[in-house]
Structure 1
Amino acid sequence: MVNSKPNIIIIMPDDSSYGNHSCFGNPVIKTPNIDTLKEQSLLLTQYHSSARCSPSRAKLLSGRHEFMSGVTHTIQGRERLSLDTITLPQALKTAGYVTGMFGKWHNGKEGPYRPENRGFDVSWVYEKGSRMKATISHNGNPKRMDGTYPTDLFFNKATEWMDVQRQTKKPFFVYLPPKSPHGPYKADSSDMPNEDYKKFLGSHPQMNVQVAKIYWEVEYIDKRIGEMIQQLEEWGIADNTLFIFIGSDNGASGTAKVYNAGMNGQKGHPYQGGTRVPAFFRWPGGGIKGGVECTTLISQMDIMPTLLEITGTPMTDQLKQQVEGRSLIPILKNPATDWEDDRHLVHHVGAWEPGQAAQSKHKRVSIQNKRFTLVNNKKGEELFDLKNDPGETKNVINEYPEVVAQLRAVYDKWWIKVQPRLVNEDAYKPPVE
């Protein structure tokens, strides 16, 4: 498993959720290919991304908390991945990989921050616009593509590119984060490739046009995932391809009332429903057994160190200093493995008003270990026992004062550590009147 050179594919939909899959009990949606993928994969059930879009992507691409790369928002220049960050594709290129990005970037629009300048040999990137009138750039050259459904374009271009790379015998890395099923959605059908979403209308008391369109887009991603794995099989490279499917970049956006897999909160919330998403690892040739689940507490920042160790990427001093995540190799080999220490994860929604970082230390944030999560949100400080109350329904802050004190202390140290790294806070200059 270590120092091998599998092809690597990461697919991460935009604004889906844990609950948007039939294999996790959704009563409406049908995702047969992801259900099959679950049977072929190791499923990480306690995997946390971030509560919002740009931060989640930054965590994946840097191997560290998004604040450590300056990413504290999705706008105002605060979505930019700091230029001193070595990205995952940049690191993999030093191990002989060719790298391709197909989808939504959202970690900087300006020249040096763009994907074609952050380690990707080829990039097809959503820039702006509604689904069927999107502007998409190819290696930095934008073009409006009326009538093109972006999800199709990204899967098609990724497949074409992989076909070329496999014939050169070079290992490839594909990062495919489609723009779907992120809103907004129109009331009519003009922003969709067809009207098939209407099949969901009336299927649930909380169903509406927005949720119907989200569910249709998730089902379509499911279809494209099935086709991609089938193509890898036909090429004879499926066994030696590490296929990682991260169910969403953050929690639910619009669908939580229909089904939220028993969780509290959604996108933009510091509760479990804001950050917990499913992660599937499929790699038969690497010895990963399918149909197995792991309940160890895992972060999106763990993907990068895991892939660097698998591929034998040289760990430079800069990478050693940068990467905070943990290699999942022990867990991939034995899913019953747990960390020897009491691991803590911080989920800070960020997105404070310009100049309000210091005042936002305790706003929309949680710190958790495997059992407890200490949340600061609109209801003040809350403590939940995730072992006995995974849905975060009962505040037990008065019952565990020593746990509260310990989590507060760890959080205080963390907050001090990230302050010098908030490098984008002054990036936004409001227009002069």
Structure 2
Amino acid sequence: MPFKKVNIVSIFVILFCFVACKNNVESKTKTEEINTPTNSLINSKPNIVVLLCDDLGYGDLSSFGHPIIKTPNLDKLAETGIKLTNFYSTAPVCSPSRAGLLTGRSPNKAGIYDFIPGLKKSPDNRDLVHLQAHEKTIPAMLKSAGYATCLVGKWHCSSRFNSNEQPQPDDFGFDHWMATHNNASPSHKNPKNFIRNREKVGEIEGFSSQIIVFEAIDWLNAKKDDKPFFLEVTFHEPHEPIASPEDLVEKYLPQAKTREEAEYFANVENVDIAVGRLVEYFKENNMDNTLIVFSSDNGPETLMRYSRAKHSYGSPGALKGMKLWTNEAGFRVPGIINWLGKETFTGTANNVVSALDYFPTFAALAGAETPNNLDGESFTSLLQTGEFNREKPLIWAFYDAINERRVAMRKGKYKIMARIEANGETLGKIHNLYDGNEALVKNAELVDFVMFNLEQDINESEDLKEKEPEVFHTMKIAFQKEYKKLLDESHIWVRAE
């Protein structure tokens, strides 16, 4: 009998330990699930689509407040996805903005400081500027993770386009590409300057926004494998030289002040129609694991800033400045995220997000390795819960800015800006950093600081450095540190002898 009693007790002890151990494992697993923001999102690699407009202003979509332009397809993506009200491009002008998006790093580090002109020898070595072969890019990263990749639209990351003397889109991981160096020429209508996989295409009938979406769909239709895809659609619209379908122009004429303004309004809607066609294609073909991100490369062009800017009626909304400014309208642009077929956070997000963040976010979703030198941060938690608190500040040094304070930093709800002074004078406008001006720029000082609370003052109207001295002191120290780090890591162009 004593033997039987001990045996029964032992059995109860074993059962109790088994249940306790099982509960502990389940509890740990649940805790890990809660603490892993992308757990319910990463069960298969999503298709990833980047939609990028050219010179689209913060206030140019109806969902972002435009009183006239109709953009129902983009509005629907914002309504059923995430509308980003604090989204930033990586520069206030095209080429550096695109380089920053592709690399997840400040474009200054890649040596792309301003827009890249066509090839013409320049004393400041601007003709040498291009995205260099060693730069790690989103398409190359995703290709290594098993993705098929495609670019359609505008490239503008090299001074020698379609030349073996500089890397081209396929050198950065694009399997298929059809692109132009810069703008569609002679205009958005019937462009003649597209290159497809290093071969000239010749004149294409139609409007650029529709043409590149047709090309994207043709590529997807011809795709024989079951690989997930990365598709970058870089619209030329609404950058000059603008051309729009006449039926859309007629629609806006009664509400526009001039025909040129009606053509601009129609130009933006034509992009919206193209986006709608692409989204409908995804849905009809059951591509129900497709992450779409939409934004602009920079803010809106200023009407008649140059002779051909006669259609430039873009709206900065409530923001100060325009394209080429380091005030908000230069690089704060409409942002939209929509993950077709996935349940994510839905609604308006005031979180500070940047195009720099695409690289680490896409890498996390694709299960790819993330380089340790990125300036962006993964916003996968935003997709899951709507929460994303940026730790790294955003800094811009645009030496060709129209406004005088050409260096700016956003950290939390505050933004700080400063002039650059060398030898007691404001540093003149600079297109490029090269061995001839490196010492001048690196020895210059940040002066004449201003600080704004962007949560309370979106149009940067009240300088708070006197009202909030402690915050200003902290921001100034961080600003100077970040700018020095950026300068130290900026690429300097040197012409080979």
TM-score, normalised to structure 2, is 0.75
Which shows bigger deviation, 214-223 or 374-383? Answer: 374-383
Report the secondary structure of 1:222's partner residue: helix
* 2:289 partner letter: N
1:219 aligns with 2:269: yes
Alpha-carbon distance between aligned partners in 1 of 2:461 and 2:281, rounded to the nearest angstrom: 44
1:274 aligns with 2:325: no
Deviation at 1:198, TM superposition (A): 4.7
Aligned structure 1 segments of 4 or more residues deviating by more than 6 angstroms: 255-258
Alpha-carbon distance between aligned partners in 2 of 1:22 and 1:153, rounded to the nearest angstrom: 24
1:39 aligns with 2:88: no
Aligned position for 1:288: 344
CA contact (8 A) 2:326 2:401 kept: no
Deviation at 1:369, TM superposition (A): 1.4
Aligned position for 1:182: 239
Report the secondary structure of 1:307's partner residue: helix
Deviation at 1:117, TM superposition (A): 1.5
Aligned position for 1:141: 199
Aligned position for 1:162: 220
Report the secondary structure of 1:252's partner residue: coil
Report the secondary structure of 1:30's partner residue: coil
1:333 aligns with 2:376: no
Alpha-carbon distance between aligned partners in 1 of 2:201 and 2:278, rounded to the nearest angstrom: 26
Choose from 419, 422, 427 the match for 2:490. 422
Report the secondary structure of 1:168's partner residue: coil
CA contact (8 A) 2:60 2:314 kept: no
Alpha-carbon distance between aligned partners in 2 of 1:258 and 1:74, rounded to the nearest angstrom: 19
Alpha-carbon distance between aligned partners in 2 of 1:284 and 1:141, rounded to the nearest angstrom: 34
Q: Which runs of 5+ in 2 are unaligned?
A: 1-40, 117-125, 304-311, 420-425, 427-446
CA contact (8 A) 1:19 1:25 kept: yes
Change beyond 3 A, Cα 1:386–1:257: farther
Aligned position for 1:152: 210
Report the secondary structure of 1:373's partner residue: strand
Report the secondary structure of 2:416's partner residue: strand
Choose from 71, 95, 103 the match for 1:54. 95
CA contact (8 A) 1:18 1:251 kept: yes
CA contact (8 A) 1:126 1:150 kept: no
Choose from 306, 312, 326 the match for 2:367. 312
* 2:351 partner letter: T
Aligned position for 1:356: none
CA contact (8 A) 1:102 1:176 kept: yes
Deviation at 1:213, TM superposition (A): 2.4
Mapping 1:230-379, distance limit 5 Å: 230-237=280-287, 239-246=288-295, 248-254=296-302, 259-290=315-346, 292-315=347-370, 319-320=371-372, 322-339=373-390, 341=391, 343-351=392-400, 363-376=405-418
Aligned position for 2:29: none
* 2:157 partner letter: N
Deviation at 1:176, TM superposition (A): 0.4
Deviation at 1:160, TM superposition (A): 1.1
CA contact (8 A) 1:79 1:106 kept: no
Alpha-carbon distance between aligned partners in 1 of 2:205 and 2:277, rounded to the nearest angstrom: 22
Aligned position for 1:15: 55
Deviation at 1:203, TM superposition (A): 2.1
Deviation at 1:61, TM superposition (A): 0.4
RMSD: 2.7
How big is each residue's C-alpha offset from its partner over 1:171-198, in whole Å with a ceiling of 9 and x where there is no partner?
A: 111000111111145xxxxx54536425
Deviation at 1:370, TM superposition (A): 2.2
* 1:124 partner letter: M
CA contact (8 A) 2:320 2:460 kept: yes
Alpha-carbon distance between aligned partners in 2 of 1:373 and 1:428, rounded to the nearest angstrom: 40
Report the secondary structure of 1:382's partner residue: strand
* 1:223 partner letter: I
1:105 aligns with 2:147: no
Alpha-carbon distance between aligned partners in 2 of 1:161 and 1:149, rounded to the nearest angstrom: 18
Aligned position for 1:411: 479
How big is each residue's C-alpha offset from its partner over 1:349-377, in whole Å with a ceiling of 9 and x where there is no partner?
A: 23389xxxxxx9x8522112122211236
Alpha-carbon distance between aligned partners in 1 of 2:401 and 2:315, rounded to the nearest angstrom: 29
Aligned position for 2:67: 27
Structure number with greater CO (CA < 8 Å, separation at least 6) is 1
Choose from 100, 114, 127 the match for 2:168. 114
Deviation at 1:77, TM superposition (A): 4.0
How big is each residue's C-alpha offset from its partner over 1:11-45, in whole Å with a ceiling of 9 and x where there is no partner?
A: 01100122111112211101111111111212222
Aligned length, in residue pairs: 405
Report the secondary structure of 2:321's partner residue: coil
CA contact (8 A) 1:77 1:424 kept: no
Alpha-carbon distance between aligned partners in 2 of 1:214 and 1:115, rounded to the nearest angstrom: 29
How big is each residue's C-alpha offset from its partner over 1:133-189, in whole Å with a ceiling of 9 and x where there is no partner?
A: 431100122343164422222110001111233x5211111000111111145xxxx
* 2:68 partner letter: V
1:95 aligns with 2:145: yes
Aligned position for 1:4: 44
* 1:348 partner letter: A
Alpha-carbon distance between aligned partners in 2 of 1:28 and 1:420, rounded to the nearest angstrom: 46
Deviation at 1:262, TM superposition (A): 1.3
Report the secondary structure of 2:68's partner residue: coil
* 1:38 partner letter: A
How big is each residue's C-alpha offset from its partner over 1:233-276, in whole Å with a ceiling of 9 and x where there is no partner?
A: 11111x21111112x11112247977432111111111111111
Alpha-carbon distance between aligned partners in 2 of 1:252 and 1:307, rounded to the nearest angstrom: 27
Deviation at 1:282, TM superposition (A): 1.1
Change beyond 3 A, Cα 1:396–1:427: farther
How big is each residue's C-alpha offset from its partner over 1:203-244, in whole Å with a ceiling of 9 and x where there is no partner?
A: 25xx4444332221110110111111111111111x211111
* 1:384 partner letter: F
Alpha-carbon distance between aligned partners in 2 of 1:370 and 1:385, rounded to the nearest angstrom: 9
